[in-house]
Amino acid sequence: MVGNAVRSGPRQNVFRQSDRAWGGPDQDRGLHARAVRRRGVAPRVEVSAVRTAVAMLALAGAAPAAADPSGVWREKDGGTIRIHRCGGAICGRLATVLPRLDPATGKPRTDKNNEDASRRNRPLAGLPVLIDMRPNGAGKWSGRLYDLDRGKVFSGNLVEVGPTTIRIEGCALGLCGGEELRRVR
For residue 129, give its domain range: 71-183
Contact of 130 with 145, CB cutoff 8 Å: yes
Position 185 scores a pLDDT of 87
Q: Same domain, yes or no, for 86 and 158?
A: yes
Distance CA 112, CA 122 (A): 8
Q: Same domain, yes or no, for 51 and 138?
A: no
Q: Same domain, yes or no, for 17 and 84?
A: no
Domain for residue 119, yes or no? Answer: yes
Domain for residue 57, yes or no? Answer: yes
Q: Same domain, yes or no, for 53 and 81?
A: no
Q: Same domain, yes or no, for 33 and 113?
A: no
Position 64 scores a pLDDT of 42
Give, as one character, the DSSP assignment of residue 7. -
Q: In b/e form, how buried is each residue of 166-175, taking b as 16+ CB within 10 angstroms?
A: bebebeeeee
Q: Same domain, yes or no, for 20 and 85?
A: no
Q: Total structural domains in the chain?
A: 2
Q: Same domain, yes or no, for 28 and 78?
A: no
CATH of the domain at 111: 2.40.128.520
Position 175 scores a pLDDT of 86
pLDDT, mean of each 10-residue run, the chain (185 residues): 53 49 51 54 50 44 60 96 96 96 94 96 97 97 95 97 96 89 96
